[in-house]
Amino acid sequence: MMLANSWSAFFVHLEGMGKPIEHMARNMGIALAVYCAVAGLPDFFLWRSYKKALPSFVSSQDEVVVSGQSKRQQQWKLVLVILGLALLVMGVGLALLVLAK
């Protein structure tokens, strides 16, 4: 951003100041255009080359079949569900105790 701002300073100082609002809008427009040229064009070209090369990163022969959830994952889900229910019961009990006073 600082590079684009300093490069656009040349174009900003070509003309007189004019009205302050027009000057600020013009300066920001010039800085934005230079920033898009400095940062946007390389990103655009890199993205295009990445999209072209993406299919060559992985071969369909390297595909691995993954089965369903493991036993440990199912146990963790069960523990989380039980913990959640316990917290819910404690919250309802606490609410009833507070309302009783």
Residue 25 has pLDDT above 60, yes or no: yes
**Which residues contact residue 23 at a Cβ distance below 8 angstroms, ignoring those fewer than 6 apart?**
17
C-alpha 43: how far from its chain's center?
Answer: 16
**Is this structure's pTM higher than 0.75?**
no
Amino acid at 4: A
Listed by start position, the domains of the chain span: 1-55, 71-101
Structure confidence by residue, pLDDT tens digits, 55-85: 777 777 777 777 777 778 888 899 999 999 9
Q: What one-character DSSP code corresponds to residue 57?
A: T
**Which residues contact residue 12 at a Cβ distance below 8 angstroms, ignoring those fewer than 6 apart?**
26, 27, 30
Tokens, residue 74: 């199912």
Name which residue leads in pLDDT, 13 or 93. Answer: 93
* pLDDT-above-90 percentage for the chain: 22
